[in-house]
Amino acid sequence: MTNKMIKIVCSMFSLLLLLLILSFGQSAKAAPSASGDSYTLRLFNVNTVLRNPNDSISGYFDIYQGSAITEPAVLDLWYSYSPTTKTELSFITISVNGVPVDSRPLEPAQAAMVNWLVALPANQIKTGFNEVNISVVHRSIDGLCRDIDNEANWFIIRPETRISFKVARSPYSLASYPMPFLDEYLASKVNTVFYLPDNSDQVMLASLFNLATNWGARGLTGVPQRMEVRLGQPGQVPANEVVLGLTSQWQGNQNKTAVLTLAGLSDGFNRLLITGDDTSSMAKAMDALSRPQLVKTFLGQQTALSTNLPADKQGTVKKENGVYTLVDLGYQQDIAVAGAFHQEAVINVPRPSNYKAGDGSYIELHFHHAKILDPKKSAVTIYINDVPIRSAALLAENAEKGILKAPIPVSELNKPSWRVRFGFYHDIGVIDCSKRYDEVAWSVVEKDTSIVLEKGNIERIPSLEDFPNNFYISPDGIINLTMVLPDNPSQEELSAAFKLAYYIGQQNKSKILWQVHTSSSYDASKAPGTVIALGRNDAAKQWNALKKYLLVSPEPDGGYHVADWLEVMPAALNSFDIYQIGKIDNDKLLYAFMYSSPERMNNLLNFSLLNENVLSGKLTLVDAQGNHASFAQSPAAAGTGSLAWLKSLWSYTDGVGQTYLAVFVAVLLATGALMFFMRKRS
């Protein structure tokens, strides 16, 4: 081979090597920078209607500590707008944490809904709370301010709107709890099994349900892929595991202390081992896991808990009975409403359990506002269940501190909840309606705004549709609940009880403390708060201690005791799941869940987690296909005697009416007595 040929071959080899290096570099650049979990989350739960011609709405999502966005997120925006919209004057803009990302004009709508995919830069998304703002200018009529209060000018953000992102995480430690056993975002990613020892007692089960309630309070949406309680040795199914056991059996180097140990499993799952010298110390370890600030101090893969844990600093403040502030309802900050013209803030107030409200109950709005507002055209109105109750002008005198009281109508006092709307109208005396003026036209609903319920005779008749919200909250802000289980619950029944506690935690904002009784050990005097009982619909012995409070209960002969006013066929009841509500006394409710099989109870909970509670009335029967029939007691059946009508009339009459009624009854009785003595004398 000649020198010239050798040079050509060497040149070609060098060129091929260079191309290979370049190709490798491009491939490396295109590859994902990190692996992690992908999520698609809903930003809005309902249709959000924007009516002002220059309006905006924000959705929020969290990026939790120990996680990072690895690539641009994607906003999958779905919206629709009025066919009267002038597209040449209408635009939409997307911003992330105050930084504009993209804009587009509103084109003539070709379909009922419009879809727009918007890439959100990863460097604009931070750890913690993130805001996605959708700002819209939509015009239908030419001319200044012509679209204010124009009902034909509207824009709707649809609940199909989603945000998708991918996160990378640091290696798990105990401080990562509840990850990886409970996902941060989606219940559908939860695949966890709790393994209990054979000697599990009521103390351990109460702590287990406290932990389940704490998981529910984290607000995941949807149905868990797997959330079970099993008995026996771990490893029965492929899943993350939380294993409880004796320290002596699992931790040879620990001496009678509660120990938490995190370890990876060979199949990619993880195990959290909770050990103690007895069930009480295991319960203490589970209680510690329900305290997020304490968990942050659990570094590494193992920690031994001291005999005396630090005191829980998150105790609630005692409050006056019948007085509830926005903080009590879960609003930790003031609520700001900004922008010219119509603005509002809406809160939902659940009716306190077993509380008899009366005339004189009211809502007291505390507010302040911008001083620049025109006092002749600016006002605030309080609506209760969409009925306007009271209004006040936004004046210089109440700019720094304003108070407006609105009485709750007697007709609304027996409702299960109240939708309270604070409607503001901001006028700053300008005619340029193309601007929002957020910085100068604003009001603030202060968090010490309160709902005051005076004591009275109007109560909400207990109903299954209020479950799981109709619980008594103690003056220190704690909900005490008692779970009554069969004497020897199966792992399927324990799974149903765990998921029920999870569901209750999801629906309540207050701290919940559980106590557990068995059917044979139940003692009403030692069962705090609302009682929730689970068991089979044909186990007469199990329901013996509670049957006097129930509308339907199984009998030893295989039949059923049925309340007189219920029109059901007792012979057919064994094929139904029977869910009912009763009163143990005036201040304590009983929810009884009688199932033909624990699987049917789990199916009901899965449906409730995905949708809404389908139970209603005082009793609901559910068949194997999921069909249900509800029964509510009529007022006539609920009467307790010949004077029941008078009690009912008194309960639904306000203070002035009650005075007139008392005078009328007194005059009627005096007249009757006078006639009796006159007839006797004659």
Q: Indicate if 326-430+437-452 has the same CATH topology as 174-305.
A: no
Q: For 66-94, how does the pLDDT look when each residue is reduced to its tens digit (9 = 90+)? A: 788 889 999 999 999 998 888 888 999 99
Which residue's entry shows tokens 């995905």?
610
DSSP string, 46-72: S-EEE-SSEEEEEEEEEE-TTEEE-S-
What's the whole-number mean pLDDT along residues 348-361? 82
Q: What is the token pair recorded at 615?
A: 């139970």
Contact predicate 631/643, CB 8 Å: no
Is the pLDDT higher at 3 or at 88? 88
> 34 pLDDT band (50/70/90 cuts)?
very low
* d(C-alpha 257, C-alpha 131), whole Å: 45
- Does the structure show a pLDDT above 70 at 346? yes
- Does the structure show a pLDDT above 50 at 651? no
What's the whole-number mean pLDDT along residues 16-45? 52
Residue 60 CA: distances (Å) to CA of 44, 70, 96, 125, 515? 9, 19, 10, 11, 36
Position 644 scores a pLDDT of 41
The CATH-assigned architecture of domain 174-305 is 2-Layer Sandwich (3.30)
Q: What is the token pair recorded at 573?
A: 């009841």
- Tell how strand 379-384 and strand 417-426 pair up: antiparallel
Backbone angles phi, psi at 285, to 5 degrees: -65, -40
Taking all residues of the chain, what is their mean pLDDT, rounded to a whole number? Answer: 84
Position 676 scores a pLDDT of 65
Position 10 scores a pLDDT of 45
Q: For 130-168, how does the pLDDT look when each residue is reduced to its tens digit (9 = 90+)? A: 999 999 998 888 776 777 778 888 999 999 999 999 998
Position 665 scores a pLDDT of 67
* d(C-alpha 651, C-alpha 573), whole Å: 36
Position 620 scores a pLDDT of 93
- Does the structure show a pLDDT above 80 at 457? yes
DSSP string, 477-510: SEEEEEEEE-SS--HHHHHHHHHHHHHHHHH--S
Position 638 scores a pLDDT of 42
Q: Quote the DSSP letter at residue 89.
A: G
DSSP string, 153-198: --EEE-TT-EEEEEEEEPPP-GGGTTTTTS-SSBGGG-EEEEEE-T
Which residue's entry shows tokens 């090597």?
17
What's the whole-number mean pLDDT along residues 304-312? 69
Position 678 scores a pLDDT of 67
- Does the structure show a pLDDT above 90 at 47? yes
> 272 pLDDT band (50/70/90 cuts)?
very high
Q: How many CB atoms lie within 10 A of CB 525?
A: 5
Q: How many CB atoms lie within 10 A of CB 489?
A: 22
Position 226 scores a pLDDT of 95
Position 563 scores a pLDDT of 92
- Does the structure show a pLDDT above 50 at 25? no
What's the whole-number mean pLDDT along residues 641-648? 44
Position 13 scores a pLDDT of 42
What's the whole-number mean pLDDT along residues 159-181? 92
SS (H, E, C) 382-439: EEECCEEEEEEECCCCCCCCEEEEEECCHHHCCCCEEEEEEEEEECCCCCCCCCCCCC
Position 159 scores a pLDDT of 94
* Three-state SS at 601: helix
Q: For 658-681, how does the pLDDT look when each residue is reduced to its tens digit (9 = 90+)? A: 565 666 667 677 777 777 666 666
CATH 2.60.120.260 fits 37-169, yes or no: yes
- Does the structure show a pLDDT above 50 at 440? yes
Of 201-205, 430-434, 457-461, least confident by mean pLDDT is 430-434
Q: Quote the DSSP letter at residue 455.
A: B
> 637 pLDDT band (50/70/90 cuts)?
very low
Find, among 229, 226, 284, the residue nearest to 259 by Cα: 284
Of 137-151, 221-235, 249-263, least confident by mean pLDDT is 249-263
Of 16-25, 145-154, 577-586, 618-627, least confident by mean pLDDT is 16-25
Residue 640: is it exposed, middle or buried by C-beta count within 10 angstroms (0-12/13-18/19+)?
exposed
Of 22-31, 90-99, 188-197, 340-349, least confident by mean pLDDT is 22-31
Q: For 560-571, how does the pLDDT look when each residue is reduced to its tens digit (9 = 90+)? A: 999 999 988 888
Contact predicate 157/50, CB 8 Å: yes
Residue 481: is it exposed, middle or buried by C-beta count within 10 angstroms (0-12/13-18/19+)?
buried
Which residue's entry shows tokens 């559980």?
514
Position 307 scores a pLDDT of 62
Cα-based angle 186, 300, 250 (whole degrees, multiple of 5) = 90
Position 466 scores a pLDDT of 85
Nearby residues of 469 by Cβ (< 8 Å), 6 or more positions away: 350, 507, 508
Share of the chain above pLDDT 70, in %: 84
- Does the structure show a pLDDT above 70 at 35? no
Find, among 150, 295, 276, 125, the residue nearest to 203 by Cα: 276
Position 256 scores a pLDDT of 60
- Domain ranges for the chain: 37-169, 174-305, 326-430+437-452, 464-631, 652-681
- Does the structure show a pLDDT above 80 at 318? no
Q: How many CB atoms lie within 10 A of CB 566?
A: 15
* Superfamily of structural domain 326-430+437-452: Galactose-binding domain-like (2.60.120.260)
> 640 pLDDT band (50/70/90 cuts)?
very low
Of 20-29, 325-334, 396-405, 407-416, least confident by mean pLDDT is 20-29
Contact predicate 228/138, CB 8 Å: no
Which helix (H) or strand (E) segment holds residue 603: the answer is: helix 598-610
* d(C-alpha 126, C-alpha 308), whole Å: 37
Residue 682: is it exposed, middle or buried by C-beta count within 10 angstroms (0-12/13-18/19+)?
exposed
Q: For 388-400, how does the pLDDT look when each residue is reduced to its tens digit (9 = 90+)? A: 999 999 999 999 9
DSSP string, 316-335: PPP--TTEEETTTTT--S-E
* Three-state SS at 648: helix
224, amino acid identity = P
- Does the structure show a pLDDT above 60 at 295? yes
Cα of 174 vs its chain's centroid, Å: 26
